[in-house]
Structure 1
């Protein structure tokens, strides 16, 4: 009984005393963004955007709650992260990291290795964004946010908003881990292009990862083709050339679903992709008679454009022998016995794979248009 009482007393003391590893906020430095590069000696350069929590008073540097850029080098990222303490004077917290950027040279050498520390760190939830930067990742951290004074939060806002554009594939750390879990270590991450003025950056396109390395970039059209197939289009605008040259219609896609079905016939594997976009006529440059035939023609044009975008994405992926669509998962589930034979040479099989695309778009009618078409 005395032992039980002593244990309970100790637990109460711990609870009332707070967390055993509690650190005062004024003694904490929060990392909001991380950049990974290689220097001329082949060592990793770690750049971090660090924010000091505001105490309501300006610090010795004259700032309160402001961020600063700190750099360190190391033979590994873990080594560089520990060396960071020497420059910051504090053990940094990565709990609130918004994004992790990796520069061109580091990404071409290896992506998995440098990111391994951030995959393993139990402090992180895997929800921070991962980006590829053309040139030095450091340059992205040094850009300024025009829409948000805190640049890492600006990038976070752009990643979330990109879902309404459909030309840029936001990828979180956890998503990337799942993609690279394949034998071929295939995936993709978005590209950021910092402007030379360092006042802003533009996020456009993506880079294909194969064997854990960046191998090829894909443009915005190919990215949207990838997103159509993977069912990640939440909203986007499809520009349709009208019958009269120089005139265009804007079709707003409100939702899209995709179905991927592998078919094996006569020992020949085919991937059948069916995409079902739903949308509305957003605007027309020139008023045109909206009859049933024109309405069907617009749907046909949308189908054609989306099919071309998907074929463009498939072509660049096959050229790099990188199954960024995850076709292997569907083949494995439907044909487990055959998959055992195909798996060792899947990149080669994928590059020769026949892919059939079927797009069945549906333009929803608003009340006025439905009445005009005699649908009411």
Structure 2
């Protein structure tokens, strides 16, 4: 009797009736999404190929056979195009290892980006940390290019997008969770990395720099790579970058390496006028000296003042551009909502117009940590 009771629970356990073996799955590394001339969705899906040679590189890079391959499917929706992969591949697409989603600029201007990302947001396999990149031209064109170091192009793009904000401040890291959260914020403005091909390099290389501004689900503007540093400083984004301070003749420049940035924005509303006080504290090291001498405390203060003046001017220029576009990409509306939801309710309807009239007061303080070596003047001198 005891033995019967011991084995009886085993019959109540469920089996893995819906499981897939590894050989039944194709592991997706990246997806490119384009709009066809007929208005349909074209998916370019990159799969990892485990048996792709011992070297792990792409064809022609000394690594043997390529470690990935691309497959194109076309249909009326992203979901249907994704399901059609099986009729070509003979395996079910596995989305949990995907690194990046590349969306063509044309598609992002024509269709709501929330609709484009709906499948990847709703399905249980894709991770919310998948990088989202907007591409100049067709997304599929980038999938024909070879990675430089990584085994797959998807991993290559992911690495560029993660590294660039940390060491150059020339783009912003954008993933599925961030895009969806930003679009649902009070201002409803999201930012995504921008990608293009640099034809000057030989061979041409992929560059991820700058960002697109997305409002109401569609592209409404751009932030250039040159303006991204100031933008990331305004929104208090951590990272390291280089500030170039021009000499009098502007043919050569001095370089200041940014180590840390702390920015606070305080909006103050009185009647129909709004003033935002921006305080930015920057610390860094001198990287290049071509027309400055920093050997005394006064020299150091003079150099810091030059950096402060440059940053303030560039911040004012960037804010002016955003105000002309009536795009509150720096999130002043979100700050007002958090501090006073009732007041935001009164301002929300015409916030674009209101943002364009805001007066910004910018205060920049720079601290020079060191000169990079024992001398505070040009090496040649």
TM range (shorter): 0.7 to 0.9
- What's 1:315 paired with? 320
Give the TM-score of the pair, scaled to structure 2: 0.86
CA contact (8 A) 1:145 1:199 kept: no
CA-CA distance at 1:340 after TM superposition? 1.4
Runs of 4+ in structure 1 off by over 6 angstroms are 1-4, 62-65
- What's 1:187 paired with? 190
Q: Secondary structure at the match of 1:95?
A: coil
CA contact (8 A) 2:185 2:334 kept: no
The one of 170, 176, 193 aligned to 1:173: 176
1:337 aligns with 2:337: no
- What's 1:264 paired with? 269
What is the aligned length? 364
Query: 1: distance between equivalents of 2:8 and 2:300?
Result: 76
- What's 1:69 paired with? 70
Pairs within 5 Å for 1:54-133: 54=51, 66-110=67-111, 111-133=113-135
**Bigger mean CA deviation after superposition, 65-74 or 156-165:** 65-74
The one of 40, 43, 50 aligned to 1:43: 40
**Cα deviation 1:295-320 (Å, max 9, x = unaligned):** 11111111122222322322222222
Q: Secondary structure at the match of 1:313?
A: helix
**Cα deviation 1:240-280 (Å, max 9, x = unaligned):** 12356534221111111111111123442112211111111
CA-CA distance at 1:25 after TM superposition? 2.0
Distance 1:27 1:360, change over 3 A: same
The one of 327, 346, 351 aligned to 1:346: 351
- What's 2:10 paired with? 9
**Cα deviation 1:78-98 (Å, max 9, x = unaligned):** 121112222222210111111
1:148 aligns with 2:150: yes
Unaligned ranges ≥5, structure 2: none
Query: 2: distance between equivalents of 1:192 and 1:263?
Result: 37
1:138 aligns with 2:143: no
**Bigger mean CA deviation after superposition, 32-41 or 193-202:** 193-202
**Cα deviation 1:213-234 (Å, max 9, x = unaligned):** 0122221122222101111141
Query: 1: distance between equivalents of 2:84 and 2:25?
Result: 17
Q: Secondary structure at the match of 1:92?
A: strand
- What's 1:281 paired with? 286
Q: Secondary structure at the match of 2:84?
A: helix
**Cα deviation 1:70-120 (Å, max 9, x = unaligned):** 111111111211122222222101111111011021100121111111112
**Cα deviation 1:178-213 (Å, max 9, x = unaligned):** 111135531111111024688521112111111100
Distance 1:152 1:347, change over 3 A: same
Root mean square deviation, CA, Å: 2.9
Q: Secondary structure at the match of 2:118?
A: helix
- What's 1:211 paired with? 216
The one of 30, 37, 40 aligned to 1:33: 30
CA-CA distance at 1:4 after TM superposition? 7.6
Distance 1:175 1:287, change over 3 A: same
Unaligned ranges ≥5, structure 1: none
Query: 2: distance between equivalents of 1:314 and 1:277?
Result: 19
Distance 1:355 1:7, change over 3 A: farther
Distance 1:20 1:308, change over 3 A: farther
**Bigger mean CA deviation after superposition, 68-77 or 288-297:** 288-297
